[in-house]
Amino acid sequence: MPSSGKIDGTGKSILVIDDDLAIRVLLQAVLKRMQFNVALAEDGESGLEKLHGDAPYDLILLDLMMPKLNGYEFIEKVREEYPDKRPHIIVFTAAGKRGVEKIPPASVCNSILKPFDLERFIDMIGDCLNGSH
C-alpha cells in the first residue's frame, strides 16, 4: 500500500460511493490512514441520502456503474440540487473512456479508469482538494 504521507486529510470529509465492497473497504482504509473522515455508500441512492443528511463533503469518489442510481444520475441530481456549491467529484469506472465522455463538462474534477493505480488516484485526490485539477 502507498505511504499516503503527502496529503493530510485532517478536518476533511470524503464520501466513497461504489457498489463494490472491496473498493469501498480499500479506499476507506487508505483515506483513514491519511486522516480523512470517510463515509461509505453502496449505490448512488444511498450516496445522495448521505449527501443530504451528513455534514458537507470536501470530495466525493464516485463509481459510474451502480444499481439503483448510477453515477451519471447521481451527478445530474447533484448539479440540480447544488447549483451554487457543488462538491468536488472524482469518478472511476470500468466503462472506458466513452463512459467518462458522457459526463457533462465541469461536473467532475477528474476521472480515472478501473483498475486504477492507487498512487495516481491519491495524487488526483490531492489535486482536487487543492483546486489544481
Closest among 97, 40, 90, 43 to 70, alpha carbons compared: 43
**Domain assignment of residue 18, given as a range:** 13-130
Domain for residue 45, yes or no?
Answer: yes
Residue that has been written with the C-alpha cell 489544481 in this structure: 132
Residue 67 — pLDDT band, cuts 50, 70, 90?
A: confident
Which of the two residues, 89 and 96, has the higher pLDDT score?
Answer: 89
- The rounded percent of the chain whose pLDDT value lies above 70 is 91
Query: Could you report the per-residue pLDDT of 101-124, keeping only the tens digit for each?
Result: 888 777 889 988 888 888 999 999
Domain for residue 4, yes or no?
Answer: no
The arithmetic mean of pLDDT across residues 120-132, rounded, is 89
Domain for residue 23, yes or no?
Answer: yes
Domain for residue 121, yes or no?
Answer: yes
CATH code of 90's domain: 3.40.50.2300
Domain for residue 86, yes or no?
Answer: yes
- The pTM assigned to this predicted structure is 0.89
Closest among 57, 18, 63, 62 to 36, alpha carbons compared: 57
Distance, in Å, from the CA atom of 77 to the CA atom of 123, rounded to the nearest integer, reads 27
Query: Could you report the per-residue pLDDT of 76-85, keeping only the tens digit for each?
Result: 999 888 877 6
Tally of structural domains, the chain: 1
Distance, in Å, from the CA atom of 21 to the CA atom of 124, rounded to the nearest integer, reads 22
Buried b (16+ CB within 10 A) or exposed e, 60-70: bbbbbbbeebb
Query: Could you report the per-residue pLDDT of 5-28, keeping only the tens digit for each?
Result: 578 999 999 999 999 999 999 999
Q: Report which secondary-structure segment, H or E, holds 21.
A: helix 21-33
pLDDT of residue 24: 94
Query: Could you report the per-residue pLDDT of 25-56, keeping only the tens digit for each?
Result: 999 999 999 999 999 999 999 999 998 876 78
Domain for residue 7, yes or no?
Answer: no
Domain for residue 74, yes or no?
Answer: yes
Domain for residue 5, yes or no?
Answer: no
